[in-house]
Structure 1
Amino acid sequence: MASSVDTAAPEGPLWAPWHVLRHWSPFNIDALGLVTLLGAEEINAAVGRLVASAYLEYLPLLGAYVIAGDRFTEKSAGWNLYNISQGIHTTDLAAWLTRWMLSQNFETTRNYVVWTVTPPRSRKNDIIVSVLIGFVLNGFLVALTILSADWYGFANALAMIVSVIVRVYVIGQQRLAMDAMIDKAVANFGPPTGDSYEARRYEYKTWKHKHIGRKSGGLRLRKPDPPTTIGGNQSSHSDSSSPTNGHKQAVHQVQVVAAHQRPNPKGKYGKVWEGKPIKVLIIQSDSKAVTFEMPNELVIPPSLFIEGPIILNPRTYFVMRSIGWLAFAVHIVAIGMADLATQIYTVLLIVLPTLLLIKKTGCDDSEWVNTFTGWKSAILHSHGQASKPDGNQSAAEKADAKKFRKIRECWIGSRLKAEVYEWPEAYEFHEEVNGNAKKWVSGGPPPGEDRSKKRQDLYAWLALTRDEEESMDKWDLFPHIRSGNNSWWETYKKKKHALKEGRDAMGPQYVESRTVRPQSSQDDYTKPFKKPNRLATEVILGVSDGATSAPQPQLPAQAPNPSSPPHAPAPQPHHTDSVTTTSSAFPASSDAAGAQPAIHNNATVSSIEASLPRVNTQPSTTGSAQIDPSTTMTQSPTTVEATDEQP
């Protein structure tokens, strides 16, 4: 009897019916707290992109110290942002932007992202669903630890709940800061106009600031009014009547406020605020090139795309992060001391939501729908039930090939919307051979070939202007000429002019038509351009090895005859007492060089073979070269030659 009593399971308190789990320990797990250190990089990337999930917002995740340490706001190196429309380049990109772009799995060159500012998007339903999911799963862990009298497990559960609250607050402050910066950007750069939410909101705020400010200011001014000394009865009567008049005025203002309601974000408006659209090219750390179309107001400092969100309450933000560190420390210790059942459930509760969040479950940019669609198509195809292509389907595909294909859309915060597109398939180039003549045409890739990954094609799609090409050359995005080989440039110009017609309504030329003054081919010829000093002198100026000369003066340029052939050979440079100059730092000095020339009756070959200005390379007493004013000059689309020979 004594031995049987000694081997009996110890009894627990009567109020803990699951106390048996407390002593269920077939094996022990040591150093389980190290599990909380796993998945830090994945959480940094998933949480740092600031995209909300409809199901996982209130569930614990691995790597809670990433949130407490604010590591998801650290910027990444190796990124380049080129504001092509404004000619600005920076390597400083916001942390959320780099993480968001890496999570989109962009193609090498053919993705096009449109950023717009929308009315505030309500997430009330998503919040309710995620709160219910978090309450059930976290509540079960709390109930498990209490009913089994596992107090280390209870401390572990509380620490996990606190870490969830800290993460919700920290990420929420980042999103609120983004919305506040967008509101400020919209309001600071001119009042919005038209039938849009931004215009209505601006009018409401202006009215509120004007009328409510006058009301509060008027009531404050009544207090320090000194009593009048003329006629005591009159003064008493005036004082007694003032509150009544003030009360009537306040009631009138309240009625006006009731009539002037705040604009409804869900209301129907005639247009969406677009700002001043610009085109931006971003080169990722993995060398992928992505094109942005976005309002210029969003990249003017302080910009949420450059500096990132500016926290509205930095002190409270710091306090909550400190609480997050404390909860993380308790979580590390308590999970290792908890019972086995609590440990197993805790690991499942933090690992599964982490995996789902990394896969963007419940997020706007989730690819689950496309994945399931692909699986369905594969299954139907394997069973022979795939839809057979017909003539109508082929015609529809051809029509869609000329338009931007929308892949997904995503909200960051409640106001910033990103729409991810692919460049139209009809923009692809291929070379046609007609006898000995070859030309580049658009219309799609050849059958059986994949879409292009060349930067050259992307630059042709961008419909760059003269100024934008100069900026691209200065940023070293265009190749430099070596040994007179300019085949890349000739191909680029041919592709660019092959795509002048047949573009989609949206796209770079749509942005260009609204932001840049249209330029003709003649404008491209006559527009002056300063050569940067960074290019090799021997290559650009054609100076022989070891030859040096005094600084050459700027020669007056004349516009060539537009009727001249585009590919007329330039005269060969003479290296004996002569110098060869270029009209620009890159061969694409004229968009008309790749276009078909217009034939006029007065076009003659002599316009190309005109005489050139004579330059005396011997330095004068002032140290500069002398120019014969009686000479003339001829400029080809790529080079200008100066020689001593007379025609």
Structure 2
Amino acid sequence: MQYVLIDAMTKLAERSAATMPWREVKQWRPFSIDALGLVTLLGADEVNKALGTLERRRYTEYLPFLAAYIVAGDRFADEQAGYSLYNITDGITTTELKSWFTRWLSAQKVLNATTIFRWQVSEKPRQIGAVDLVAPLLSFLAVAPLLIFTVLMGDWFGFGNACAIVCSIMVRSFILWQRRRALDSDAAPKSVPVPTMSLDDEKLPNFQSGPHLPDTTSDSSLASVKQLHREQSAPTMEDTVKMLVTRADGKMVTIYAPRRILQVFVREATLPRPKLYHAARYCGWTAFGTQMCILGMSSLLTQIYTVVLLVFSTWAMCHSFSFDIGRRTSTRPAKDGSSSEYIETHFGTKLEVEQENPRHGEGGGMDKRMHAYVRLQPDSKQEAMLKHWSMLPFDGVPWYDDFHQAKETYAARVAGSLSKSSLSSASSQHSSLAPAK
């Protein structure tokens, strides 16, 4: 029985070999796929860090880059560990910081502990100017030759590669625009509806029985006074909040920001068009897969041009040049009269951030966390919270001798700087009022 079964299987295999042209299928090679398309997978970490900051670039905004699947897969929106935020104004600490904020913070060149960031919402949104037309013009000048000579040569694989590049640029522009617009919408001031009273609900005071003062000793009066005090002392969205943020590399920065901006640091911004956002991601995956498959089948000139363009554009974008980001650097006196470097940057259309780097001279002896706490000027309650979070040592250690001395020195320098500024302003006013001889 066993031999009969083996004989039947042998005849079936011979019949299949006779009816199906397996040899022709094996030799069927109308085209060849080169491994050059794997180049598009390189540079993923650099692109992830650069795109995740959501900073708008003046010149490299629309240039193609490597690892386009970072955008299609939404990899740049993954949260990072190792960051902690300490809100000493409200007594809140959290490690759940949003991806754009941690990537933006890690991309900034900061000091060890004394760098200060001041966030604010601009009253006038940034308007589109002539400089915003440079980025699309550079993108056109970089990609247009690839489209033209692939058509002239009849290199249709190369033409498909160029179309995939254009599609990737459009997908990336739309996704970043959605992310930035979501941040602007959440950080913008929200309109609060004002309650209105109808004529029937409006009650006029009754003066027939003469003036009557409320009894402050009654329970209702005490409750109303407590409620009024609670409403007046309640925090508002315009209050400036003091925060300390520790990065994954151990460096600490100080942040001043209005309370209404805090939600964009710790909460996911709501996308304006979530369905279109996901549809754009699908298009991005299609463009990335197409380019990865057909880049190796295009002509040699197309391959060289594409690789050089992608590598150079990725390097320029990931380097984050100051002129590309739009940073404005200046040097002026700080609050205590010392010299500091200030870097101003527009973030989106409504957010602005100012970075202050105190100049401590050679050695950097003043660039310690103790001096960051001194510049923060915390009160007794805030110092107690810092001790609870293990940001400050417990009482009874010699460290506090230097800390109290540094606080006194800083307060004296601030007072001296204020007196000098007031004297200079008074002398300038006196000179302007003096009659000319």
Question: May I ask how many residue pairs the two structures share in their alignment?
Answer: 345
1:180 alignment partner, one of 164, 182, 185: 185
Distance (whole Å) between structure 1 residues aligned to residue 334 and residue 266 of structure 2: 38
In structure 2, the residue matched to 1:158 is: 163
Structure 1 residues not aligned, in runs of 5+? 1-27, 192-205, 207-273, 371-395, 426-444, 508-647
Tell me the distance in 1 between the aligned counterparts of 2:258 and 2:336. Answer: 27
Name the one with the larger helix percent. 2
**TM-score normalised by the chain length of structure 2:** 0.73
Residues 1:307 and 2:267 are matched in the alignment:
yes
1:424 CA drift (Å): 6.2
Distance (whole Å) between structure 2 residues aligned to residue 311 and residue 506 of structure 1: 46
- Which aligned pairs between 1:183-198 and structure 2 lie closer than 5 A? 183=188, 186-187=189-190
* C-alpha distance in structure 2 between counterparts of 1:505 and 1:173, whole Å: 48
Alignment partner of 1:347 is 2:282:
no
Contact 2:101 2:265 in 1 (8 A): yes
Name 1:502's counterpart in structure 2. Answer: 413
Change (3 A) 1:84 1:356: same
TM-fit CA distance, 1:363? 2.9
The residue identity in structure 2 corresponding to 1:107 is: L
| Residues 189 and 297 in structure 1, CA contact (< 8 A), matched pair in contact too | no
Give the secondary-structure state (helix, strand or coil) at the position aligned to 1:503: helix
2:54 to 50, 54, 57: 50
- 1:437-456, aligned counterparts within 5 Å? 449-456=363-370
CA deviation map 1:256-310 (0-9, x unaligned) = xxxxxxxxxxxxxxxxxx92112111011111110011101211xxx11111422
Q: How does 1:525-564 map to 2 (within 5 A)?
A: none
Counterpart residue number, 1:533: none
Tell me how large the CA RMSD over aligned residues is. 2.9
Q: Does 1:419 align with 2:354?
A: yes
* Alignment-mate amino acid for residue 298 of structure 1: I
Structure-1 separation of matches of 2:283 and 2:56: 23
1:5 maps to none
CA pair 147-504 structure 1, distance change in 2 beyond 3 A: farther
Answer whether contact 2:336 2:417 (CA < 8 A) is retained: no
Q: Which of these residues, 278, 283, 299, is aligned with residue 318 of structure 1?
A: 278
Residue in structure 1 matched with residue 257 of structure 2 by the alignment: 294
- Code of the residue aligned with 1:65 in structure 2: it is Y
Q: Encode CA deviations 1:155-184: one digit per residue, 9 max, x unaligned.
A: 00000100000000000101111111122x
SS for the counterpart of 1:499 is helix
Give per-residue Cα distances to partners, 1:418-460, cap 9 Å, x unaligned. 11112365xxxxxxxxxxxxxxxxxxx7xx6434232122212
Q: Where does residue 90 of structure 2 map in the other structure?
A: 86
CA deviation string 1:42-97 (max 9, x = no partner): 01111111111111122111110000001111111010101111111010111111
- Cα contact 2:184–2:348 (8 A) shared by 1: yes
Output the CA distance in 2 between the equivalents of 1:463 and 1:400: 12
TM-score, normalized by length of structure 1?
A: 0.50
Tell me if structure 1 keeps the 8 A contact 2:175–2:277: yes
- Corresponding letter in the other structure for 1:453: D
The Cα of 1:399 is off from its aligned counterpart by: 9.1
Contact 2:327-2:344 within 8 A present in 1 as well: no
Query: Are 1:61 and 2:65 an aligned pair?
Result: yes
User: 1:504 and 1:159 mapped to 2: Cα distance?
Assistant: 62
Q: Report deviation, 1:359.
A: 1.4
Compute the displacement of 1:366 (Å).
5.5
Q: Aligned to 1:304, what secondary structure does the other structure show?
A: helix
Aligned CA distance change for structure 1 residues 283 and 400 (closer, same or farther; 3 Å): closer
* 1:211-222 to 2 correspondences below 5 Å: none
Partner of 1:493: 404
Distance of 1:399 and 1:88 partners within structure 2: 28
- Return the offset for 1:403: 4.4
Which residue identity is paired with 1:503? V
Shift of 1:475: 0.7
Identity %: 32
Distance 2:318 2:156 in 1: 32
Partner amino acid for 2:103? Answer: R
Give the letter aligned to residue 340 of structure 2. R
Give the residue type in structure 2 aligned to 1:323.
C
Task: Give secondary structure in 1 for the equivalent of 2:264.
Answer: coil
* Rg larger for: 1
* Aligned with residue 146 of structure 1, among 126, 132, 151: 151
Q: Offset at 1:30?
A: 3.7
| CA deviation profile, 1:326-381 (whole Å, cap 9, x unmatched) | 000000011111110000000111111110111113433569x89xxxxxxxxxxx
The answer to whether structure 1 residue 278 and structure 2 residue 241 are counterparts is yes
Higher relative contact order structure (alpha carbons within 8 Å, sequence separation ≥ 6): 2
- Kindly indicate whether residue 113 of structure 2 is the aligned counterpart of residue 109 of structure 1: yes
Structure 2 unaligned spans of 5+: 1-31, 196-236, 419-437
Q: Which amino acid aligns with 2:348?
A: G
Q: How far apart, CA to CA, are the structure 1 residues paired with 2:93 and 2:339?
A: 27
